[in-house]
Amino acid sequence: MNSSVFTVAANADAWVLIGPDQNGPIIRITSAMDDQSKMEFAQFGITAVPNRLVFRALEIVAASFFGPAPGMRLIFRDILAGSRAEARLTQYELIARHDHILNVIKLFGRSQGLRVCNSFLDIRRGSFDTLIDLA
């Protein structure tokens, strides 16, 4: 699978990768491409079980940025974005989304010689973020 199934765009605010159909994946990164300490994902629209398309998208991210790399923190902002239509989200839904992101990164990390050394949920201005430290 090559990168031609994806659309990649960049401007002063963000780098965006969009998958071949409405099911994604879609990834929007707002950190600098050469930032060696962190990668900040403003959108991580990967909801499917990790598959070849998801891993190819993450390979394109890795080829375009300094990371993911050892010693780096991955920050996934507002992991429940788009879920606000629900009046109340359960704790289960929050943990499930966090665990899904974490598992995608763990599986991809193994293929890149990386491992997760820490992960946690953080609340920031009323939204939930997933933070993952790599080794």
State the DSSP H helix or E strand holding residue 43, giving kind and residue range, or none if neither. strand 38-45
Measured torsion, CA atoms of residues 70, 97, 22, 16, in degrees rounded to the nearest 10: -30
Confidence check: pLDDT of 106 > 70 = yes
- Output the pLDDT for position 89: 64
Domain total of the chain: 1
CATH number of the domain where residue 86 is located: 3.40.630
- The average pLDDT across 69-90 equals 79
pLDDT tens digit string along 4-59? 789 999 999 999 999 988 777 899 999 999 999 999 999 999 877 768 888 999 99
Mean pLDDT of the residues in the chain:
89
Measured torsion, CA atoms of residues 110, 62, 81, 133, in degrees rounded to the nearest 10: 50
For residue 96, the enclosing domain spans 3-134
- Output the pLDDT for position 90: 75
Query: CA-to-CA distance for 103 and 22, rounded, in angstroms?
Result: 22
CB 117 within 8 A of CB 72: no
Q: Name the more confident of 39 and 92.
A: 39
